[in-house]
Amino acid sequence: MIVTAQHAVLVQGITGRQGQYWTERMEECGTRVVAGASPGRAGREVHGVPVYDTAADAAAAHDLDATVLFVPPARAKDAVVDAAEAGIRTIVCLAEHIPSHDVMEMLAVARECGSVVVGPNTAGLVVPGQSSVGIMPGFAPNIFRPGRIGVVSRSGSLGTLVCMNLVTAGFGQSAFIGVGGDPILGTTTADAVRALVAHPATEAIVIVGEIGGSMEEDAAEVITGLGVPTVAFIAGRSAPPDRRMGHAGAIVTGDRGSADTKVAALRGAGVAVVDIPSEIGTALRGLGVGPHAAVAAGG
């Protein structure tokens, strides 16, 4: 699910306003956008990128590694199914407010086809200096710089803040994975941690979590015994129970999903949990992870 400059990317919904705008921004980051898909718009070009009616048509003309969906919630299921059945292995689904039954169906089809869905309600993926797939500001050097810290976040805005704090503290990122903030997701925090651990450029991991669900507790089980320096920040620690805060998945129910249970699980796995994002750099140094010379020098 880590998309680099070598991977070929499709943009579904490329002819819409957001699709056009973010295609240009993604290309500025080095993303190799080779095709777009918008029903009824075949034969057009957007920023020099050829447009096809469907992902299947685009896949017949290009070897595609990933796709990003700039489509409304009502069309998301069909777009994901189209991409999965076309053999595209990484599918980045940005839309939120997709009906739950649509999400369950599209994730089931993706699994059957061997595809990984990132999202729904994700801000996307970034490999600084190489690519950005989605709506993260991968083009901003004060937020993303090449480095060795892998970042996984449920929130795009909090992920942006944490990445900016990392750069300010002298660190850079090996990759950013936005898993999304909905209750039903194709990629979990634990999945993202596994991907970052397997990524050779990653020296340490930062988890940006929030209340609700059990993803951070599940990730703690994966982290235990890995020996990878890991820092976490959990948002919503002062939120009252049974009240949704921000994302649809940010609601505490039952005996899991609270800030306290997440913090306890992560600390039990050897993770340094900070109270505010600006403490992440100090926590990384405390784990023996030094700043990255190129970033610290402003390179």
pLDDT tens-place string over residues 195-239: 999 999 999 999 999 988 899 999 999 999 899 999 999 997 655
Mean pLDDT value across residues 28-46: 98
Write down the pLDDT at residue 292: 72
pLDDT surpasses 80 at 290: yes
Among 7, 97, 199, 247, the one annotated catalytic: 247
Cα separation of 299 and 145, whole Å?
Answer: 8
pLDDT in tens, 4-26: 999 999 999 999 999 999 999 99
Q: pLDDT grade, residue 296 (50/70/90)? A: very low
Q: Which domains does the chain have, with CATH numbers?
A: 8-118 (3.40.50.720), 140-296 (3.40.50.261)
Q: Write the CB contacts of 139 (distance below 8 Å, at least 6 apart in sequence).
A: 25, 28, 29, 132
Q: Write the CB contacts of 290 (distance below 8 Å, at least 6 apart in sequence).
A: none
Write down the pLDDT at residue 297: 39
Residue 246: CB atoms within 10 Å: 18
Percent of the chain beyond pLDDT 90?
A: 86
pLDDT in tens, 234-273: 997 655 555 555 555 545 555 566 889 999 999 999 999 9
Write down the pLDDT at residue 298: 40
pLDDT in tens, 88-130: 999 999 999 999 999 999 999 999 999 999 999 999 999 999 9
Mean pLDDT value across residues 50-71: 98
Mean pLDDT value across residues 181-208: 96
Write down the pLDDT at residue 258: 84
Q: Which stretches of 72-193 are assigned E, i.e. beta strand?
A: 90-93, 116-118, 124-127, 131-134, 146-153, 173-178
CA distances from 220 to 19, 32, 94, 137, 194 (A): 36, 34, 26, 28, 11
Write down the pLDDT at residue 299: 38
**Mean pLDDT over each residue of the chain, to the nearest integer:** 93
Q: Which amino acid is at 55?
A: A
247 is known as an active-site residue: yes
Write down the pLDDT at residue 116: 98
Three-state DSSP at 202 gives coil
